[in-house]
Amino acid sequence: MRDKIKVAFQGEKGAYSHLACLEIFPNIEAKPCYTFEEAFKLARDDSEYKIVIPIENSLAGRVADIHYLIPKYKLQIHAEHFQKVTHNLLGIKGSKISDIKTVRSHSQAIGQCSKIISQNNFKTIISADTAGSARFVSEKKDKSESAIASELAAKIYHLEILKSNIEDESGNITRFFIMGKETKHPDFEKKKYITSCIFKLKSIPAALYKALGGFATNGVNLCKLESFSVKNTFDQVNFYIDIEGHIEDMSLKKALEELGFHTEKLDVLGVYEAHEFRAKNK
């Protein structure tokens, strides 16, 4: 039997990040971390650990702080994963929806399930995370208490799924990065790849326009470009960029050379195979 892969995630057991870990790696030793920074620090200090970190959500947008932690801890992106998020109303065994008076969960989960909350006039309680809410309901053993969390959380904390798929909108997807200390790039073959970078421009007029020109002239497609402020200043920003292609592709090499000419700093965060989700949703 193969040794279990050591994987850390932010949150408690049963969190959506834990669910993503189990979908990515069938044989893992999962380690919950209280904060994102704790997970990053663990992977930096122990090369045996990979971390599975949410980077963005199709409804809620960018996950706060991740863009600051990536350059701080200098971990490499080894792969990406797109996880479908389905919310469930959980209660203790023997409870029914008619028994429920309060529902607790993370603020985003509460906001994404407003219809069922409004229809049943539930009192909402904002909690730090979804899985922690499920654990609280399990420990309190009160039929009037409920949580919004994953099916995995229901299984771990021995709760009843009172109603599944309770989100207001279907198609709630979270993109995760699988990261680690080791720098490794897949061999350049006839596959779809993503190269991710963070850069800071030189402070000169039209720097961004000139920096991105190399992608246009070399026929390289950008699938994401976003800015985020450099901490403790309003004067400069960093840019995060996802590029279609492999770093060994000559067109991408030329585009990155052009980008580098106009930047103060350019860090390649990783080169990895594009997840199959991208092809399905073009």
Mean pLDDT of 33-59: 94
Q: Averaged over 23-36, what is the pLDDT?
A: 92
Q: What's the pLDDT at 231?
A: 67
Domain 88-164 and domain 193-280, same fold? Reply is no
pLDDT in tens, 112-141: 999 999 999 999 999 988 999 999 999 999
Per-residue buried b or exposed e for 105-115, using 16+ beta carbons within 10 Å of the residue's own CB: bbebbbebbee
Residue 282 has pLDDT above 80, yes or no: no
Give the closest residue to 149 by CA, choosing from 120, 80, 158, 9: 158
Least Cα distance to 134 among 152, 119, 116, 111 occurs for 152
Query: 274: burial class by Cβ within 10 Å (0-12, 13-18, 19+)?
Result: middle
Residue of 216, 200, 207 lying closest to 255 (CA atoms): 216
Q: What is the CATH number of domain 193-280?
A: 3.30.70.260
pLDDT at 232: 64
The pLDDT of residue 251 is 96
Confidence of residue 8 (pLDDT cuts 50, 70, 90): very high
Indicate the domain borders of the chain. 5-85+173-180, 88-164, 193-280
Least confident among 63-72, 206-215, 228-237, 270-279: 228-237
Can you list the alpha helix ranges (DSSP code H) found in 113-198?
A: 114-120, 130-140, 151-156
Report the distance separating Cα 133 and Cα 90, nearest Å. 10
Write the CA distances from 114 to 15, 168, 238, integer angstroms.
Answer: 20, 7, 35
The pair of three-digit structure tokens given for residue 29, joined into one six-digit string: 């030793």
Q: Please confirm, yes or no, whether 122 is among the known catalytic residues.
A: no
Per-residue model confidence (pLDDT) at position 190: 85
What pLDDT, in 10s, does the model give residues 211-237? 999 999 999 999 999 998 876 666 678
Quote the CA–CA distance of 32 and 39 in Å, as a whole number.
8
* % of the chain surpassing 90 pLDDT: 78
- Over residues 178-202, the mean pLDDT reads 92
Q: Give yes or no: 228 in active site.
A: no
**Tokens representing 250?**
């000559």
Q: Which sign does the torsion angle of CA 14, 16, 17, 23 carry?
A: positive
DSSP assignment, residue 123? Answer: E
Q: What is the CA radius of gyration of the chain?
A: 21
Residue 22 has pLDDT above 90, yes or no: yes
Question: Tokens at residue 32, please?
Answer: 């919950």
* The token pair that represents 4 in the structure block: 């279990």
Residues ≥6 apart with Cβ < 8 Å to 74 = 44, 267
pLDDT for position 236: 75
Q: Which of 130, 174, 195, 263 is catalytic?
A: 174
Report the Cα 73 to chain-centroid distance in Å. 17
pLDDT given at position 146: 97
Could you tell me the two tokens for 25?
A: 């790696």
- Give domain 5-85+173-180's CATH superfamily: Periplasmic binding protein-like II (3.40.190.10)
- Could you please state the CATH topology (level 3) that the domain comprising 88-164 is classified under: D-Maltodextrin-Binding Protein; domain 2 (3.40.190)
Q: Give the integer Cα–Cα distance in Å for 112 and 172.
A: 9
Q: What are 90-112's pLDDT values in tens digits?
A: 999 999 999 999 999 998 899 99
pTM flag (> 0.75)? yes
The residue annotated as part of the active site, out of 9, 36, 122, 176, is: 176
Nearest to 90 by CA among 128, 137, 139: 137
User: What is the C-alpha to C-alpha distance for residues 280 and 282, in angstroms, rounded to an integer?
Assistant: 6
User: In 3D, which of 184, 192, 180, 178 has the Cα closest to residue 252?
Assistant: 192
Q: Which two tokens stand for residue 224?
A: 């994401």
What does the pLDDT look like over 140-173, one tens digit per residue?
999 999 999 999 999 999 999 999 999 998 888 9
pLDDT surpassing 80 at residue 277:
yes
- Work out the mean pLDDT of the chain and round it to a whole number: 92
Lowest mean pLDDT among 231-235, 237-241, 264-268: 231-235
